[in-house]
């Protein structure tokens, strides 16, 4: 029987930090899917979408220092969720049913979702400029 692949807490942190909030949500969602926890899958999508919308809505008003602090904070928060509500690195390593996602998967997830989030942010900012909410 083939082992199911999970993102370790540190892999979730890496996806979150390098790939942005969409990668964070995907990694946590994927782990809940593999762990067969549909309610948690729905919860992470709901709260994650709310978080992304909040980030986008408040992005024009975020001070410069927060542009660094916010990604660090949500990356460590995602790691904490993975440790406390999914499986620890040790539990995955010692499990007969689960194994780690390959590093290449972490890189691809991070790159794809980073690109998607940048594109979404550009569209949102251009819409705000077009609506006259912010000046170019």
- The pLDDT of residue 1 is above 90: no
Q: Over the stretch 98-118, which tens digit does the pLDDT of each residue have? A: 999 999 999 999 999 999 999
pLDDT band at residue 134 under the 50/70/90 scheme: confident
Torsion of CA 90, 43, 77, 87, to 10 degrees: 0
**pLDDT tier at 128, thresholds 50, 70, 90:** confident
Q: What is the mean pLDDT of residues 19-25?
A: 97
Residue 60 domain-assigned (yes or no)? yes
Give which of 57, 51, 58 is closest to 25, Cα–Cα: 51
Q: HSE on the CB side for 67, CA within 13 Å?
A: 6
User: Residue 131: how many CB atoms within 10 A of its CB?
Assistant: 8
Provide the pLDDT for residue 62. Answer: 87
Residue 136 counted as domain residue: no
In this structure, is residue 51 part of a structural domain? Answer: yes
Mean pLDDT of 3-9: 97
- pLDDT surpassing 80 at residue 136: no
The tally of domains found in the chain comes to 1
Q: How far apart are CA 123 and CA 120, in angstroms?
A: 5
In the chain, how many H helices and how many E strands? 6, 2
> Residue 135: inside a domain, yes or no?
no
Residue 89 has a pLDDT of 95
- Model's pTM, two decimal places? 0.91
The domain in which residue 8 lies consists of 4-130
């Amino acid at each position: 029987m083939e082992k199911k692949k999970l993102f370790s807490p540190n892999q979730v942190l890496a996806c979150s930090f390098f790939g942005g909030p969409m990668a964070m949500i995907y990694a946590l969602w994927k782990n809940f899917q593999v762990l067969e926890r549909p309610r948690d899958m729905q919860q992470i999508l709901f709260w994650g979408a709310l978080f992304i919308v909040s980030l986008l809505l408040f992005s024009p008003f975020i001070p410069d220092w927060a542009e660094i602090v916010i990604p660090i904070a949500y990356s460590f928060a995602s790691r904490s969720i993975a440790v406390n509500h999914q499986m620890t690195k040790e539990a995955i390593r010692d499990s007969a049913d689960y194994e780690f996602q390959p590093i290449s998967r972490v890189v691809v997830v991070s790159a794809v979702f980073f690109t998607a989030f940048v594109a979404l942010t550009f569209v949102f900012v251009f819409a705000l400029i077009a609506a006259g909410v912010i000046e170019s």
